[in-house]
Amino acid sequence: MKLINYPVGSTFGLSDIPDSVTAVGFEVENHENVSEKTDGYVFRRELLREILNYLRAPNGDAFFLSGPTGSGKTSGVTETLARLNWPCQEITANGRFEFQQLVGQFKLVSRNPGDPPHMEYVYGMLPIAMKYGHVLLINEIDLIDPAEISGLNDIIEGSPLVIPENAGEVIHPHPMFRIIATGNSNGAGDNSGLYRGVMAQNIAFMDRFLISNVGYIGPEAEEEILSKSVKKMPKKLRTKLVEVANAIRKQFLGESGTGMDGQLAVTMSTRTLVRWAILAMDFRQHPTPLQYAMDLSLTNRAAPEEAEAIRQIASGILGDQWLGTRPKGG
């Protein structure tokens, strides 16, 4: 695939950045491993700058995005890669994750329907990304046992991958191969008690990462997102929905100062906020559209006491609108 330079301003919707500022990407479009773009996605300048800088020059490092659930860590990466036509091998880790899952294994495969199966070595995401210059994106990397993920240490530094099971095959990294990871911690474990299963990672492993702290998107940016997603919703109501989302997040993170901190095990991501707004407009003929949409978007997956706490937050901010005033719109 041919490399080309994309103008940052027009590519990422930042009109004040001149076209002379560019970011490297691939020319080929419609590659099966290029993520789909989300229309109206709003990029955070600082996060975008950090991602683009890493993609341009990793300098022997991997890139780690740390932040609370729903803060946009993964979408920040995939939306950036999508606009650069940069293929991505993406996997979400768990506590049973084994390094061999990334490398590959022998499997029974059939070349064509009806053909007898035969044993063949099937690459995992790591060798594919290394061979063809894709980004390897590992979500929730801090759920992995440190002993398992340490297999990436030498790969991050540029060493080839050796696959003994496949006749000792040696795969050298493509110049455009990159490793990006996301996690709810910064690799030092979770002292908040919010994220079950998070493990403290080996210090030598984490020393190979650039680390970016990704918080929740700011109110103005979220209002801009809502203005594009629910254009017919009144601006004042969009502002209140964003206020509710941030109040839920503060209580989830233990930062509300209300004495109720730490009582929520769920929170409202930007994705959930947009879902809530869209459903409120879709069901605006319902007697209590904002409550009904909130249940569908968030509270139906919360414990009863948590759902009630969220409803109290929303009621305190939205007032009569929460009790039944229908969202205006066509």
Q: Who has greater pLDDT, 58 or 199?
A: 58
- Measured between alpha carbons, how far is 19 from 319 in angstroms, rounded to an integer? 46
What pTM value is reported for the model?
Answer: 0.87
Give whichever of 102-106, 174-178, 262-266, 323-327 has the largest mean pLDDT. Answer: 174-178
Of 194, 213, 232, which closes a domain?
Answer: 213
Domain assignment present for residue 329? The answer is: no
Task: Report the pLDDT value the prediction gives residue 43, as an integer from 0 to 100.
Answer: 93
Give the number of other CB atoms < 10 A from CB of residue 194: 18
- Measured between alpha carbons, how far is 309 from 322 in angstroms, rounded to an integer? 14
Residue 328 pLDDT grade (very low, low, confident, very high; cuts 50, 70, 90):
low
What would the pLDDT profile of 100-148 be if each residue is shown by its tens digit? 999 999 988 888 888 888 888 999 999 999 999 999 999 999 998 888 8
Q: Would you say residue 261 has pLDDT above 60?
A: no
Q: Are residues 128 and 265 in the same domain?
A: no
Task: Report the pLDDT value the prediction gives residue 256, as an integer from 0 to 100.
Answer: 66
Domain assignment present for residue 285? The answer is: yes
Q: Are residues 102 and 138 in the same domain?
A: yes
> Residues 246, 252: contact at Cβ < 8 Å?
no
> Domain range holding 301?
219-323
Domain assignment present for residue 80? The answer is: yes
Q: Are residues 49 and 188 in the same domain?
A: yes
Q: Are residues 206 and 226 in the same domain?
A: no
Q: How many domains does the chain have?
A: 2
What would the pLDDT profile of 278-313 be if each residue is shown by its tens digit? 999 999 999 999 999 999 999 999 999 999 999 999
| CATH classification at residue 124 | 3.40.50.300
Q: Are residues 308 and 159 in the same domain?
A: no
Task: Report the pLDDT value the prediction gives residue 190, as an integer from 0 to 100.
Answer: 74
Q: Are residues 143 and 13 in the same domain?
A: yes
Q: Tokens 């920040």 map to which residue?
A: 76
Q: Are residues 208 and 226 in the same domain?
A: no
Q: Who has greater pLDDT, 69 or 88?
A: 88
Give the number of other CB atoms < 10 A from CB of residue 105: 12
